[in-house]
Amino acid sequence: MGKAKIDAAFSKVLNQGDKAFVPYIMAGDGGLENLKEQILFLEEHGATVVELGIPFSDPVADGPVIQEAGIRSLASGTTLEAILTSLEGWKDTREIPIVLMTYINLIYSFGIEKFAERCKEVGVDGLIIPDLPLEEEELVTPALGKSGIALIRLVSPTSPPHRIEQIAKRSEGFLYAVTVKGTTGIRSEYEEGIEAYLQGLKGYAKVPVLAGFGVSSPEQVRTMSEYCDGVIVGSKIVDSLHQEDRETITALIAASKKSTAHLT
């Protein structure tokens, strides 16, 4: 469980010559009763880890598609405790690691120690907290360490080199490499120098480096994966689930696989 489960999932994928694929979904979008089916669908089709968004009223990293999904989820009555209870109910029937993406306010309100213990109980393996800066991590790291929960750090191309190195070396599970300036969303092109940026991160990080923000097509999955260990896809997955378009999702995941990449 926890960090070890994430490490094992990445090792398995990378050792067989594939690239990692981490889909982001918004918990409760379309109804919390559908969460189990959504996650098992992603597991069945070859996702490495699922990044599960917790709806929040004041997101700072989310673009329009994910913001709208969060609003739909909150409107349907989704709460953090309800999400955790849902995950607990079928933790023994899934193998795929679960990483929660949430904001520090929700964790603080829940109770940091209580939250870490609850994550361990329900089978959560890692956390992404985009509004928790490096300097404030001591708020959560003791509790997460005690529960074996990985703290996955985000690094941005706008950060100075010494800070990029610090963050990269401290990340657990995987390093979330933001590839664009701005929020999440679908984009047609990337910043200049992205290849050098991602390869530089691989020189610092002790864990796999994954590119996120703006990856939305099989071609982009393949291109970005050339420079790092895999990709994170959010807005396109969220929108495809909302539109009940499962074929788009399976094509995105397939593009990360050596054996099927040429088919997409």
Q: List active site positions.
A: 51, 62
Which of 43, 54, 112 lies closest to 82 in space, CA to CA?
Answer: 54
Q: Are 1 and 126 in contact (CB under 8 A)?
A: no
The encoded tokens of residue 137 equal 């991590």
What whole-number distance in Å separates Cα of residue 107 and Cα of residue 151? 13
Q: How far apart are CA 40 and CA 50, in angstroms?
A: 10
In angstroms, the Cα distances linking 109 to 81, 103, 179 are 12, 10, 31
Calpha distance 201→45 (Å, rounded):
28
Helix (H), strand (E) at residue 70: helix 64-75
The torsion angles phi and psi of 190, rounded to 5 degrees, stand at -115, 170
Structure tokens at 149: 């929960």
